[in-house]
Structure 1
Amino acid sequence: MIKKTFKISGNTFRKLDDPFENATSKKYVFYSNVNDVPDGIPMATNPREQKLTSDVAKAIESSLCSNDGYFHLKNRGIVVSAQKIIFNNKTNEVTIEFNDELSHGNIDGGHTYKIICKHKNDQPLINQYVQFEVMTGVEDIIEDLARARNTSVQVDEKPMAELAGKFDPIKEGIEGMPFFSRIAFKMNQVEQDSTTGKNLKMIDAREIVAIISMFDIEKYTPSTPPIQAYSSKASILNLYLKNPDHYRAFINIAPDIFDLYDAIETEFAEAYNSTGKRYGEKKFSGYKDGKPIAKSKFIQNDIAYKIPDGLLYPTLAAFRALVKLDQNTSKYYWTEDPLAVWKRCKNELASKIMNFSASIGDNPNKVGKDSNIWDLAYMTVSFTKQGELL
């Protein structure tokens, strides 16, 4: 048996009985200062390997080490299964007993736990707290519980879909694109540059699905914009997995979608600047005296400005106005070259989106969730015909 004792924070210990009267399971929650979290909690119950060099792990580490006092609010916390839990309200100590390492231990929050163990007792001390959720009496459902806690669409459906070949319809449309090798169809997938040996910056497969799905004119009409592609990529992936074969309809237009994405990402700011405004004055622009600050997501061109997804997605999705379905082949096609239409209307389109953004406080996230700007962008593209902006 393994016993671990925590010093907990004040009056935060809570016991939650199961709502079903005959159930044997119980749940306990409490906050602990990260420096009081003990080493050695069993990890065999966690279905994921903890890769501390991943972007997720780095974000957790950055949040913890910021010492901002909000880690317990921003982090989901640590979930464990245990044989028994004892709370001493006089000493504010909790002792957790782990009797069987196959049933008792860390279920979720393994990255958080390992990062805390790495940094606890740093000098100067990090004054942050983390939430613990402890369950007892769940031995009979431990596998289902561990899967449920870890199998969000983000962390489990993606690799499961890859194993089942469900991403093949997407791959068929973009396998010749220069960014194809950088798409992460599996969790923690890493590719290296053949010349330098350095890890490449990967692109989540969910983002690929979300971007393509915005051009699904059977689902998204002029009056029903694909806001979900911006606000919930996990939900979009879930919809995709219900009917992957439908995405073979995008094979002919998919390469152009990502070329268009790159054109918008690299030209949007200058298009706005051409109207007499200064995109670089926006806090979210990342502008540094015209110097390259990053590479464009897909084609890896140098960019001097950041274009947040909240601005880019409504802009890109507007070009579904140029998509039609060929009834004979059941494939989508362009009624006009989207890059040519972008060149004709980019100044007006960028101006309208940026003016709208300014009207709601220059918050790109709010822009991305507001149907009004998606509609306005769509209408702007719709009215651009044969070289004339009507």
Structure 2
Amino acid sequence: MVSKINFKVESVRTINSPSQKNVTTYFTYVNFKDLPSGLPLDVNPRKPKMNTAVAKSLIAAVKAPETDFDINNRGIVIVAKSFKFNSNNNTVVLDLGDDPTKFGILDGGHTYTAIIDNRNELPETIDKFVKLEIIVGKELFVSRIADARNTSASVSDIALYELDDKFDFIKEAIKNEPYSNDIAIKDNSKERLPIIELLKLLFAYNIYKFPNANTTPTQAYSGKAMVFKDIKKDLDNKTGYYDSLAKILPDLVQLYDKIELEFRTKYLEYNPTGKFGGLRGVEKQKSNGKPLQTLFLENDTDYRVSAGYILPVFGAFRVLIEENNKKLSWKINPFTMWDTVGSSLVKNTLESSRNNPQDAGKNTSIWSNNYSKVENEMFREMLKNK
């Protein structure tokens, strides 16, 4: 793979991210004829399937004589190591590094493939363009961007997997819960709660994969595609890990809901004069508006807290899980443990991330330190009760 690629573009527009100052996005249009071939697709969570109805319509649009493709198509998103534009000859030098799992086409793989495979069928007299969105920045979390940009396809993967009733173990685990009929699995489902939200909880508590503070399930926040891939692998191999974890899923939902509801209370315990509603990643209920509700149990709340803050706190309590004969149970009640250490966990999460939910969600140190805090308190409780 050639890491540095030169190609001609139309004029370039540059936008710096207001939330992450070291991330820059470059927008440009490229003539089909100048679009470089061989761009890596490895960072895209799925390979293009060009025999679907959507892909066939893309191919038809590429071949069509109309020249408004750049208006009607969302374009191609690329993550690059660096981007240089020479305004003298309107050429770009794109550095894609030497790791195809970090740099390349993040979204728009079907569009890219349709153009590369079919542009030669266009008459020489026709010029058609595609929009490129090129993201450059240090420590970009590509799996999270890919996950967000490929939501519909990810849901489709889950829906296809359900055709073989693979998620019956989830349905069985929550059959007596108030949200059992709210789970959305199929595409365009009317149910309110995507099943991936439950799968993320199980992933965060996979003590087989993340047995200590040195191993952190940050992908529960940063990558739904990775979560699904891990659970699919377990089910396909009949390992049984997630089947065991599902037995405690109702407890996990209750714990997540309690943390979500009481996050502000624990914040005010260590910072009584703090303005919780002013924190980035916290949505305050609008005056005279409908109450906000928690994700799983739909309890009314005045504040909606980003999962980037909640998950590193929630995931810490997996240290309380023990296994006996493939049955999982709690060493110590997680709800009373939250009452004891919740304020310390919230403080560590917010202050270590500088009140940035994206950093908190993907920061392994925060996850690890929270785990250690719960573990230390667990040992104190055990010694006290001897």
Write the distance in 2 (CA, Å) between the matches of 1:151 and 1:339.
Answer: 33
Write the distance in 1 (CA, Å) between the matches of 2:216 and 2:30.
Answer: 44
Alignment match, 1:229 = 220
CA spacing shift, 1:345–1:389, aligned 2, 3 Å: farther
- 1:325 partner letter: E
1:283 aligned to 2:274?
no
Q: 2:306 aligns with which of 289, 305, 308?
A: 308
Write the distance in 2 (CA, Å) between the matches of 1:153 and 1:380.
Answer: 38
Question: Could you list the runs of 5+ residues in structure 1 that have no partner in the other structure?
Answer: 1-7, 20-42, 50-63, 65-69, 96-128, 133-149, 192-201
CA spacing shift, 1:166–1:190, aligned 2, 3 Å: same
Alignment match, 2:268 = 273
**Partners of 2:255 and 2:334 within 8 A in 1:** yes
Q: 1:320 aligns with which of 318, 339, 344?
A: 318
Q: What do residues 167-222 of structure 1 show as CA deviations (whole Å, max 9, x unaligned)? A: 1122222222212222111111114xxxxxxxxxx222222112112111111022
Q: What do residues 13-49 of structure 1 show as CA deviations (whole Å, max 9, x unaligned)? A: 1436867xxxxxxxxxxxxxxxxxxxxxxx9832799
- 1:216 partner letter: N
Q: 1:264 aligns with which of 252, 255, 259?
A: 259
Write the distance in 2 (CA, Å) between the matches of 1:227 and 1:176.
Answer: 29
Report runs of 4+ in structure 1 exceeding 4 Å deviation: 8-11, 16-19, 70-78, 80-83, 129-132, 150-153, 288-293, 386-390
Alignment match, 2:53 = 45
1:379 aligned to 2:376?
no
Write the distance in 2 (CA, Å) between the matches of 1:279 and 1:187.
Answer: 36
Alignment match, 1:144 = none
Alignment match, 2:199 = 209
1:12 is displaced (CA, Å) by 2.2
**Partners of 1:292 and 1:303 within 8 A in 2:** no
Any idea what SS the aligned residue of 1:384 has? helix
Question: Could you list the runs of 5+ residues in structure 2 that have no partner in the other structure?
Answer: 1-8, 12-28, 39-50, 58-70, 79-105, 134-149
CA spacing shift, 1:280–1:185, aligned 2, 3 Å: same
1:283 is displaced (CA, Å) by 3.2
Write the distance in 2 (CA, Å) between the matches of 1:381 and 1:301.
Answer: 26
Any idea what SS the aligned residue of 2:297 has? coil
**Partners of 2:316 and 2:367 within 8 A in 1:** yes
**Partners of 1:86 and 1:94 within 8 A in 2:** no
Any idea what SS the aligned residue of 1:378 has? helix
Write the distance in 2 (CA, Å) between the matches of 1:18 and 1:283.
Answer: 41
Q: What do residues 208-255 of structure 1 show as CA deviations (whole Å, max 9, x unaligned)? A: 112112111111022101112211111111111122243221243211
Any idea what SS the aligned residue of 1:12 has? strand
Any idea what SS the aligned residue of 2:54 has? coil
1:266 is displaced (CA, Å) by 0.7
RMSD of aligned alpha carbons: 3.6
Alignment match, 2:339 = 343
1:357 is displaced (CA, Å) by 2.2
**Partners of 2:155 and 2:185 within 8 A in 1:** no
Q: Which has more radius of gyration?
A: 1
Any idea what SS the aligned residue of 1:286 has? strand
CA spacing shift, 1:174–1:87, aligned 2, 3 Å: farther
**Partners of 1:344 and 1:387 within 8 A in 2:** no
Alignment match, 2:31 = 13
Alignment match, 1:296 = 294
Alignment match, 2:244 = 249
Q: 2:123 aligns with which of 54, 79, 86?
A: 86
Write the distance in 1 (CA, Å) between the matches of 2:36 and 2:286.
Answer: 59
CA spacing shift, 1:384–1:289, aligned 2, 3 Å: farther
**Partners of 2:283 and 2:305 within 8 A in 1:** no
Any idea what SS the aligned residue of 2:160 has? helix
CA spacing shift, 1:383–1:157, aligned 2, 3 Å: same
CA spacing shift, 1:220–1:48, aligned 2, 3 Å: farther
1:281 is displaced (CA, Å) by 2.2
Any idea what SS the aligned residue of 1:345 has? helix
Q: What do residues 52-99 of structure 1 show as CA deviations (whole Å, max 9, x unaligned)? A: xxxxxxxxxxxx9xxxxx98769945725758222437xxx449xxxx
Alignment match, 2:168 = 168
1:131 is displaced (CA, Å) by 5.8
TM-score by length of 1: 0.61
CA spacing shift, 1:388–1:44, aligned 2, 3 Å: closer
**Partners of 2:203 and 2:220 within 8 A in 1:** yes
1:370 aligned to 2:363?
yes
